[in-house]
Amino acid sequence: MSRQLTFSDVAAQRTLSEMTVTTAVGDDTAPTTRAGLLDRARQHAATVAADHFPALPVERIDWEISERTQRTAGVTTYDPQTDEITISLTWDAYDSQGWEQFSETVRHELIHAWQYHEPGEADHGRTFVRWTDVLDTSQHCERFTAPKWWLVCEDCGGRTARYRRSKTVRNPEQYRCSKCGGSIRVKEGGGH
């Protein structure tokens, strides 16, 4: 777990980062290290929260980098026993998207952090959607890696991405489409 930051820490880091950014190309300087990405994400979240979620204790959010995640650019978890909120960001997603696009992920996850703090449950429903336009983010994040397989329904054409060689990928004949009950076939490759 990473060290929790106070607003003073964020302000000090922001000042240091702003000095670095000033010598670079505007505020578009992209982090080049995992620590730099966490620093930039914390700063961005603190700025957004100050404007939109002032009651959210953003300084208590724990931030980490995921090296294993293959599907999502970020995930927010909540421990009801300790009230700890953790935002986990995926380095590979950032690496493929760049900061400008990835900053949407930070705002997306910040909405989830606010949901855990205020309404108590996080989802992509009504309380989430009301913030997507305001924070210039989307309801669902796009994939940053192509799936290794697609489960394709022979009847309705429905498609489900698979990143691991699951039982369904190994034995599609034993499973049915969850939408229409049709037969499933496996298609290799990352494209639709």
Mean pLDDT for 22-49 is: 80
Q: What kind and span of H or E run contains 104?
A: helix 99-117
Q: pLDDT at position 2, please? A: 42
Domains and their CATH numbers in the chain: 7-132 (3.30.2010), 149-188 (no CATH)
Name the pTM for this structure: 0.65
For residues 90 and 78, what is the distance between their CA atoms, to the nearest angstrom?
Answer: 18
How many Cβ atoms are within 10 Å of 163's Cβ, its own excluded? 16
**b/e for 97-129, b at 16 or more Cβ within 10 A?**
bebeebbbbbbbbbbbbbbbbeeeebeeeeebe
Banded model confidence at residue 4, pLDDT cuts 50, 70, 90 = very low
**pLDDT at residue 16 greater than cutoff 80:** no
**pLDDT at residue 75 greater than cutoff 60:** yes
Banded model confidence at residue 144, pLDDT cuts 50, 70, 90 = low
- Cα 10 off chain centre by: 21
Is the model more confident about 67 or about 127?
127
- Cα 43 off chain centre by: 16
Q: pLDDT at position 18, please? A: 35
Banded model confidence at residue 191, pLDDT cuts 50, 70, 90 = low
Tens of pLDDT, residue by residue over 165-185, are 888 889 999 999 888 999 999
Q: pLDDT at position 190, please? A: 60
